[in-house]
Chains A and B, each alone.
Chain A
Amino acid sequence: ETGVTQSPTHLIKTRGQQVTLRCSSQSGHNTVSWYQQALGQGPQFIFQYYREEENGRGNFPPRFSGLQFPNYSSELNVNALELDDSALYLCASSRSAQGDYEQYFGPGTRLTVT
């Protein structure tokens, strides 16, 4: 059974650019959640996708957007990058958004905005 994977591992972008981060969910999981972890802080919930629909969103501006594909993999897109977007981005997959299912975290993508 393949775990949650994310790509790329590291990324350096310039302020104002756009970035796309990718996440492949664990086999059998239809729900993906994205979290942003700034240096020295706990992860913060960005949004969740369940069966290709957004299923909850945290306190992030609209320039943070996402997609979930029929195979339940997901993308996080960030437009107009700001310096404060520099962080570790974690995705987590779970068997379903309905019911008590644990979220399994991927290795993360480290984004640096200069």
Chain B
Amino acid sequence: ELKVEQNPLFLSMQEGKNYTIYCNYSTTSDRLYWYRQDPGKSLESLFVLLSNGAVKQEGRLMASLDTKARLSTLHITAAVHDLSATYFCAVIKAAGNKLTFGGGTRVLVKP
């Protein structure tokens, strides 16, 4: 059974500093996703990572994938308050199949 673990579960950030969220998964997967969720809202897709060594960046967020280590990281550069949210990684093992999510990392950026 595919398992996905994120850490930390909660991250209190100071504005302007850099932080990393880690996502480990238990078996080989076809794709890895990162989502953002604001309180009471749905999931917003941030990145799709398809292959080993993939790196994607959007603004202050950068995601990378190491399929050999079964590890993805979401790096936040110079955190700002607007990045406060819960971030989820999710993996999909076979095309069209179910997404398996991590437990989420709740991020709070303080001034």
How far is B92's CA from A48's CA once the two chains are assembled, in angstroms?
A: 13
B interface residues, tally (CB under 8 Å): 23
Instruction: Supply 11 further A-B pairs (C-beta < 8 A) apart from A90-B42, A97-B96, A100-B95.
Output: A42-B101, A42-B104, A48-B96, A55-B96, A56-B97, A100-B31, A100-B50, A101-B95, A102-B33, A102-B45, A105-B45
Map CB proximity to A onto B77-110 as digits: 1 under 8 Å, 0 otherwise: 0000000000010100001111111111000000
- B-side contacts of A105, CB under 8 Å: 42-43, 45
Q: Which of A27-82 contact B (CB under 8 A)?
A: 31, 33, 35, 40-45, 48, 50, 55-56, 58
Set B43, B48, B97, B100: member contacting A90, Cβ < 8 A: B43
A interface residues, tally (CB under 8 Å): 31
CB nearest neighbor in A for B50: A100
Give residues in A with beta carbon < 8 Å to B.
31, 33, 35, 40-45, 48, 50, 55-56, 58, 90, 92, 94, 96-108, 110
Q: Chain A's nearest CB lies how many Å from the CB of B52?
A: 16
Q: Is B41 an interface residue (CB 8 A)?
A: yes
Q: Chain B's nearest CB lies how many Å from the CB of A93?
A: 12
CB nearest neighbor in A for B104: A42
Contact assessment for B96 and A41 in the assembled complex, using a CB-CB cutoff below 8 Å: no
Q: List 13 A-B contacts (CB under 8 A).
A: A31-B96, A35-B99, A41-B103, A42-B103, A44-B101, A45-B99, A48-B96, A56-B97, A90-B42, A100-B30, A100-B31, A100-B95, A101-B95
How far is B45's CA from A103's CA once the two chains are assembled, in angstroms?
A: 9
Set A58, A100, A108, A110: member contacting B98, Cβ < 8 A: A58
- A-side contacts of B48, CB under 8 Å: 102
- B-side contacts of A48, CB under 8 Å: 96-98
